[in-house]
Amino acid sequence: MSAYPHLLPQVAERMEDSESERIEFARSDRWIAYPVAKSVIDELDQIIAYPTTQRPPCRLIVGRGDNGKTAILRQFRQRHPITIREDGSPNSSVVAIGMPATPDLSQIWSEILQSCAITHRRGDAAHAKYPQVVGALRYINARVLLIDEFNNIVNARKGASDVLAGLRKLSNDLNLSIVAAGTEAAINALSFDAQMRSRFKPLALTRWSLDLAYLSFLKTYERLLPLPAASNLSGKELAQVIFNAGGVAIGGSVSLIKEAAVTAIRSGQERITPATILDTQERLRQNYEGVVAST
């Protein structure tokens, strides 16, 4: 029987690591398939096998900041890695980019070419890069283009309609599905092109509440923390403290738990308590205010 029954076997093995190694492990990202995220991933998986149509299916993952959108895109990308065909050429059904802060088509085409490891001149006009983009995506047999921070399209202002029209043309020319993620502003961005808006089915990442799904998430997350003593994160008292401090976006709770685990390791307490959470919350607040005050 394991000396650490509250941990997954592969995490229990890390208990022999040094303090610095355990801290690094505690701060590393984890993927936990909570119900909403799993349903989104399952729907995206279906797009990969979708038959060729005149209007490729597109999805827009919408949620407030720090609520898991990027993690879902990353997980979906990892589920469909690059493979090598018999002739030695690459096959990459999913290509991922981030929407530039103030986008135009030239920048977007460069992001795609860079993701495909294609050498090009970033200063070239969009129309000069487009044939390269089409050729690269066709060569690797891309089926889905992932675009994070899709809400940045609104920053293009009058150029937003050109950006959307360019993406629509790319989707049409290659029968390419687009999976975008962003805040509520992403929905507003689609209003610049009625045809694009009609193609996208929104998938909402709702606010978290202190319910069974949240408690299950905490219980699973605890099994991934390199702490020798059980903390019982999903217990009534501690779960309430974590939720109150972390907020309704899951990223807040995750960041708090990670740093609380670091505090527990460094202090020698080796478990997370309500006091650990509150102390960590205050330290993070002071750090944030200190940075703001100095800039």
Beta bridge mates, 180: 60, 147
Asked if the 35-204 domain carries CATH number 2.40.110.10, the reply is no
Rounded to whole angstroms, the Cα distance separating 71 from 30 reads 9
- One-letter amino acid for residue 97 of the chain: I
- Rounded to an integer, what distance in angstroms lies between the CA atom of residue 154 and that of residue 191? 10
Of the candidates 207, 218, 222, 225, the residue with the CA atom closest to the CA atom of residue 241:
218
Q: List the chain pLDDT tens, one digit each, 295 residues.
A: 679 999 999 999 999 999 999 999 999 999 999 999 999 999 999 998 888 777 899 999 999 999 999 999 999 999 999 998 888 888 999 999 999 999 999 999 999 999 999 999 999 999 999 999 999 999 999 999 999 999 999 999 989 999 999 999 999 999 999 999 999 999 999 988 998 999 999 999 999 999 999 999 999 999 999 999 999 999 999 999 999 999 899 999 999 999 999 999 999 999 999 999 999 999 888 876 665 556 5
- Judged on CB neighbours under 10 Å (0-12, 13-18, 19+), 149 is buried
CA distance 57 to 171: 10
Q: List every span in the chain annotated with CATH 3.40.50.300.
A: 35-204
Rounded to two decimals, the pTM is 0.91
